[in-house]
Chain A
Amino acid sequence: MVSYLLKRLIATIPVMLVVAVFIFLLLRLTPGDPAAMIAGDYATEAQIAEIRENLGLDQSLASQFVIWIGNILQGDLGESYFFKKDVTELIAARIEPTLSLSIITIIFTVAIAVPMGVISAYKQGTWVDRVVMGFSVVGFSIPVFVIGFGLIYVFSLELGWFPVQGYQRLADGILPWLHHLILPALALSVIFVAFIARMTRTSVLEVLGEDYIRTARAKGQTENKVLVRHALRNAAVPIVTVIGFAFAILIGGVVVTESVFNIPGLGLLTVDAVLNRDFPTIQAVVLLFSFIYVLINLVIDLSYTILDPRIRY
């Protein structure tokens, strides 16, 4: 187990290195002098030269990369051209809204998608199944910002149940926080639910044909227990795998949802950074999101041993 863990950890290094090289080259090849952008419009030639030297921009591309990576590993993500602040500081201030939105979305998704998939598999071929499958095709096709505006239109503008936009810090109370997050989380979870309900259905359907399900029924186990304890438990590994893949969709969706609902998180920061060509911030956010994505999939890989004791590393 420990040697497998080490092996997997080491295997993520080349992946993250490719990500870092790609992001570095992509944004370093852009036209424009970063030093001049940091210095601003009124800087003298000498000031720009000084900044260039401090940033190591006068050195070769390879040594620039080494300096950049070295700084990142020490927690220094550079200075934002636009916000004129440390990127690390900038990101830290934006984590809470994004993390809140993501967690509530995942709770919604699992609470809705897994029962949907299980019921759909259990009632295979009936109208319940067809409704669930239909929803999953439709849910996968409606872009998240269209769902978002649809929800705002119905629940905020017409019914007035929820605030139209904005975010309340968790420190200001859990209820206002939740009140502001329900609609965005719901909008974001639709595509996720579509994806996971479908996977849960397939996975449970496969398991329902197994001998041990028949055995469980034969010994008089109630249907609920058969479904939850025997079927779902054994179907868990592919479901969890797909939740891991779907995190990429979630991260992409966060950027869009935060823009629609005006939530000041990392997604909105990304959009602002791109609109203002704030390359250090773009680099940092892309790198951070990719790192989180790789990390989550690593954790999911390791969780297989808990979900399915037959899997041993």
Chain B
Amino acid sequence: MATNVQSPGRETLRSLFHNPSVLIGGIILAIVVLMAVFAPFLGTIDPNQTSTSTRLKPPGYEGVMKVYTDEGRVKVPVVYRMGSDTLGRDVYSRVVYGARISLVVGVAVATIAIAFGMVIGLVAGYFRVLDSIIMRIMDGLMAIPAILLAIAVVSVFNAGLLSVIIAIVVPEVPRVVRLVRSIVLSIREEPYVEAAITAGTRVPTLLIRHVLPNTVAPLIVQGTFIVASAIIVEAILSFLGLGIPADEVPTWGNIMGAARENFQLHPHQILYPGMILAVTVLAVNMLGDGLRDTLDPRFSKRF
């Protein structure tokens, strides 16, 4: 029941830290966040620095990069921990910096999708006249498989971070709308909401004070899963060459995309970023599972 959903108090917080999936997922995620924040200090070089003399080297290769600066040609010794790609860029540096894009896209998509989904869902759940129109549109959007919808949206814009975020937000919004709407519909029938209506509470106040707080816990859980799926979809788009271009910013997806042609000779350039990507998504999903079990027991039975 809706009344079971409380804002996280001290009791909830304690049980969160005792949940093994929250703990393990949280620790792994914290490491990835630290990696993204401190990327320049982790023995990395400029991830976009190309070097024609040291192209396609195996992991562990020690070589010299010829870098052209204002003072002329400078020779920089470099260790390619994960090898170098077709342009001589250091795959290790690209993988470390790539964590930034994955996290930014994940969090940005979840925040934007929830913001839009919450407003639309509140309106649909509360104003019966608009409900059927809004939900028909949402049903239509949900009939387009998410990755395909993202691909269609991204094809319209020029490739880049913003267009990728928009493309992933669009298919996520209807799912948030559905969730918020279903919560609003059940809350509307609660005696305290009816009492507030009788007392003459204005609609915006009613929605914000009485209805909105009930959506917080389910939305935190949903938001975590959106982060995980957004990270995967960004990687897929960039891997296919439809997302963020590899010469602008390194992302785990476009590192793998760039390594496709040489996969038979240099499989590690795909397998390393692939593994880190998988572990990150796994951590977010574990966090989501744990949060769902503690914050939102109603949904823990669903799977």
From known contacts A149-B263, A274-B151, infer whether A290 and B156 are also in contact, taking CB-CB under 8 Å: no
- In the complex, whether A55 has a CB less than 8 A from a CB of chain B is no
9 tightest Cβ-Cβ pairs between the two chains A and B: A18-B140, A252-B147, A146-B274, A141-B282, A251-B145, A142-B278, A248-B145, A141-B281, A274-B155
A15 and B140 CA atoms in complex are apart in Å by 4
Cβ of A294: which chain B residues have Cβ within 8 Å of it? 143
From known contacts A146-B277, A289-B145, infer whether A157 and B240 are also in contact, taking CB-CB under 8 Å: no
Sample of 25 A–B contacts (CB below 8 Å): A14-B136, A18-B139, A18-B140, A19-B143, A22-B140, A22-B141, A22-B144, A26-B152, A27-B156, A145-B274, A146-B270, A149-B274, A157-B267, A248-B145, A252-B145, A252-B148, A256-B239, A259-B240, A271-B240, A271-B241, A271-B242, A282-B155, A289-B145, A290-B148, A293-B143
From known contacts A29-B156, A145-B236, infer whether A15 and B139 are also in contact, taking CB-CB under 8 Å: yes
Which of B232, B271, B281, B285 is close to A149, meaning CB atoms less than 8 Å apart?
Answer: B271
A contacts, CB < 8 Å to B: 14-19, 21-23, 26-27, 29-30, 137-138, 140-143, 145-146, 149-150, 152-153, 157, 164, 198-199, 202, 247-249, 251-253, 255-256, 259, 270-271, 273-275, 277, 279, 282, 285-286, 289-290, 293-294
Instruction: Tell me how far the C-beta of A29 lies from the nearest C-beta in chain B, rounded to whole angstroms.
Output: 7
Question: Which residues of B, 120-163, contact A by the 8 Å Cβ criterion?
Answer: 136-137, 139-141, 143-149, 151-156
Cβ of A286: which chain B residues have Cβ within 8 Å of it? 144, 148-149, 151-152
- In the complex, whether B256 has a CB less than 8 A from a CB of chain A is yes
A289 and B147 CA atoms in complex are apart in Å by 11
Chain A residue nearest to B241 in the complex (CB): A275
Instruction: Tell me how far the C-beta of A99 lies from the nearest C-beta in chain B, rounded to whole angstroms.
Output: 16
Instruction: Tell me how far the C-beta of A147 lies from the nearest C-beta in chain B, rounded to whole angstroms.
Output: 9
Chain B residue nearest to A259 in the complex (CB): B240
- In the complex, whether B264 has a CB less than 8 A from a CB of chain A is yes
- Chain B interface size, under 10 / 10 to 19 / 20 to 34 / 35 or more: 35 or more
Chain A residue nearest to B233 in the complex (CB): A252
From known contacts A14-B140, A150-B271, A251-B145, infer whether A274 and B154 are also in contact, taking CB-CB under 8 Å: yes
Cβ of B282: which chain A residues have Cβ within 8 Å of it? 137-138, 141-142
Cβ of B140: which chain A residues have Cβ within 8 Å of it? 14-19, 21-22
* B144 contacts A19, C-beta separation under 8 Å: yes
From known contacts A198-B303, A275-B242, infer whether A143 and B232 are also in contact, taking CB-CB under 8 Å: yes
From known contacts A146-B274, A274-B155, infer whether A255 and B148 are also in contact, taking CB-CB under 8 Å: yes
From known contacts A15-B139, A137-B285, A282-B152, infer whether A146 and B242 are also in contact, taking CB-CB under 8 Å: no
Cβ of B286: which chain A residues have Cβ within 8 Å of it? 137
A26 and B242 CA atoms in complex are apart in Å by 17
Instruction: Tell me how far the C-beta of B286 lies from the nearest C-beta in chain A, rounded to whole angstroms.
Output: 7
Q: Which of A19, A145, A198, A270 has the most C-beta atoms of chain B within 10 angstroms of its own C-beta?
A: A145
* B240 contacts A140, C-beta separation under 8 Å: no
A152 and B141 CA atoms in complex are apart in Å by 35
* B264 contacts A157, C-beta separation under 8 Å: yes
